[in-house]
Amino acid sequence: MAWAQLAIMAGKGLSAYGSYSAGKAKKEDLYAQARALIRNAKVTRAASQRAASDERKLADLAISEAIANAAASGAGASDPTVINLLAGLEAEGEYRALSQMFLGEEEAEGMEIQARYKRKSGRAAKRAGVLGAVKSIFS
């Protein structure tokens, strides 16, 4: 009889350990996924900043070319048409740069939200493992 009870208790102990270990492993997996998402969010932000910088450089090149063309045509830099053209090129360049930043920020924020949910799910998985372990012991 004692051996039977010992076997039952050992089985419950193993079952409890299995439940706890599964919950802990699930949490660790989800936390690793969250870390990867945070890393990707940082990379996305950096890439959007680089793209914005490139857009500004392109706008500067377009402005420089417009000034050179205006000078070659005999128009002065203070000519109202040239001033309007340069202002439009500058505004378009800044719009494109800010659009790149916005797109990158939106994507990064989405990844950060996913990471928060992964962490929350990980905590819930660990709690479920602990509760499963307790249930195994008392069942």
Burial of 132 (0-12, 13-18, 19+ CB in 10 A): middle
Computed over every residue of the chain, the mean pLDDT equals 91
Per residue in 10-45, pLDDT (tens digit) is 778 878 888 888 889 999 999 999 999 999 999 999
Per residue in 67-106, pLDDT (tens digit) is 998 888 887 778 888 899 999 999 999 999 999 999 999 9
Would residue 74 be called left, alpha or beta, if left means φ above 0 and alpha means ψ between -120 and 50 degrees?
A: left
Is pLDDT larger for residue 9 or for residue 112? Answer: 112
Q: What is the pTM for the complete model shown?
A: 0.77
What is the rounded CA–CA span in Å between residue 99 and residue 41?
Answer: 17
